[in-house]
Amino acid sequence: TFICAQCGGNHFSLDSICPVVKKYREELKLAVDKALTSGAIKRPAPGEAPRPFQQQTNDFSFLNQGQVISRPAWTTSDTESLHSNLKQEMIDLVVTIKALSDTMIRTEKSFNDLNNRIEVPHKSTILHCNSICAIIDTVQIMSSWVQGWGTRALEVMDLIFKTDSPVCVFTEVGKLWNSFKVPHFTSFYQKGTNHSGGVMITIGKHLRATRIDTDIENTVIVDIHGLSEQIRIIVKGTILTSDFNATLDEWGSQSTDRRGDSLKKWIEENELTFIPINSHSSKRSDSHIDLTFTNLNRAENETIFYGSSDHWQAVLRSQSIGFISNGFFSNIDWTIYQTILVLLENFWINEQKKETIAHWYQCY
């Protein structure tokens, strides 16, 4: 688009169609004709050499300045176009910022959901650790007269986990003692004098036990490591438990026999103490036939009314001995793990771009 500087029309400023230029040409023609008529100028004859031009005062009148319409040569259309483009860019920028804000809100919500999902197993782990800490303050040792391991193995395993005992003593396990393994426990066995005899001690695998070699039938001797105090044979920290087939009236039995007198003399010589139980261990009489002796402090014995054998089970507790156990497997939520890797991928890639690989490896 062109705008005439003389009249503002839609043409070039010196175009012949411009009315201002037309009028100027007409006035110029009249002035030339008038000058020719008055003799002020004359046309040269053919073949005559032209003489130098001499202008006289007022030969040509000046254009009327008042008739010239002053208009800008260039309009603001380009400026308006520029403003329009800037305005559109601002609108696009606002839309982009809003989309980014919405993305950040969704990301924040995703992180909150992720935190909530992580918090659940975290609290579960804390509760599990607290429960372990509450158990390990007091060591529990169970004594059970099995009377046939093959038929009562599942019952014994249920009893182990009900009493939560890391150390268990089983008597009269029979020849089928190896037909079933207690999960997460190490077993030590010694044969008996007949087909139904034999004794076995199971130790939780979070503890370490060393067997003391002996050829005595129906006798298993182990050193237990990993406790706050070691439990060893006839030293400080000794526990002796079994069905001794010995009775003594001061141990809660109805009578005293020769084996009871011999056993009492022996434990006194070795500075062991009888640990009484809250109820008799025999199902057929009021006798205490499963006896426990120890030199540990703050020890107590409790009858567990469970099982199908002829004996009630007994659990020895000592608050003077504890142990530290990390014997549980971590539970990994692989969906959360994968989500964290995806969310942190761009961060680590950008961190690698900031420094050399060697520097990045040294920092992280």
Query: pLDDT tens across 271-295, in order?
Result: 888 888 877 777 777 777 788 888 7
CA–CA distances in Å: residue 104 to residues 17, 23, 91, 100, 350:
64, 71, 20, 6, 19
Backbone angles phi, psi at 133, to 5 degrees: -60, -35
The predicted structure's pLDDT at residue 9: 85
Residues 6+ apart with CB under 8 A from 207: 166, 167, 224, 225, 226, 227, 323, 325
Average pLDDT, the chain: 76
Locate 37 and state its tokens: 């008529």
Q: Which of 133-142, 155-164, 317-326, 343-352 has the lowest mean pLDDT?
A: 133-142
Neighbours of 117 (CB within 10 A): 14
pLDDT at 157 over 60: yes
Q: What is the pLDDT of residue 161?
A: 76
Statement: residue 34 has pLDDT above 50? yes
Q: Quick check: 204 pLDDT over 80?
A: yes
- Per-residue pLDDT tens over the stretch 236-271: 677 778 777 788 888 878 888 888 888 888 888 888
N-term to C-term CA, the chain: 65
pLDDT at 63 over 60: no
Mean pLDDT of 83-109: 85
Helices (H) and strands (E) in the chain — how many of each?
A: 6, 11
Q: Is the pLDDT of residue 5 over 60?
A: yes
- Using CA atoms in the order 278, 161, 307, 137, what is the torsion angle rounded to 10 degrees? -10
| Angle 39-41-44 from CA coordinates, rounded to 5° | 110
**Mean pLDDT in residue range 86-105:** 87
Does pLDDT of 138 surpass 70?
Answer: no
Alpha helices in 229-356 (DSSP H): 258-269, 334-354
- What pLDDT does 292 receive? 85
Instruction: Report the candidate in 254, 238, 223, 337 with the shortest Cα–Cα distance to residue 293.
Output: 238
Element (H, E) at 86: helix 77-136
DSSP SS3 for 62: coil
Structure confidence at residue 69 (pLDDT): 58
* pLDDT over threshold 60, residue 137: no
195 or 221: which carries more pLDDT confidence?
221
Percent of the chain with pLDDT over 90: 1
| Domain 139-318 superfamily per CATH | Endonuclease/exonuclease/phosphatase (3.60.10.10)
- Range 245-252 contact pairs with CB under 8 angstroms and sequence separation of 24 or more: 245/289, 246/291, 247/287, 247/288, 247/289, 251/276, 251/288, 251/291, 252/276, 252/277, 252/280, 252/287, 252/288
d(CA 41, CA 30): 13
Strands 221-225 and 290-294: unpaired
**Distance (Å) of CA 331 to CA 164, 217, 325, 336, 337:** 21, 44, 17, 12, 11
Is the predicted pLDDT of residue 135 greater than 50, yes or no?
A: no
**pLDDT grade, residue 51 (50/70/90)?**
low
Cβ atoms of 296 and 237 within 8 Å: the answer is yes
Give helix 77-136 / helix 334-354 axis angle, nearest 10°. 130
Phi/psi at 280 (5° precision): -65, 150
Reduce the DSSP state of residue 176 to 3 states and report it. Answer: coil
pLDDT of residue 348: 79
Residue 329 pLDDT greater than 80, yes or no: no
pLDDT above 80: residue 16: yes
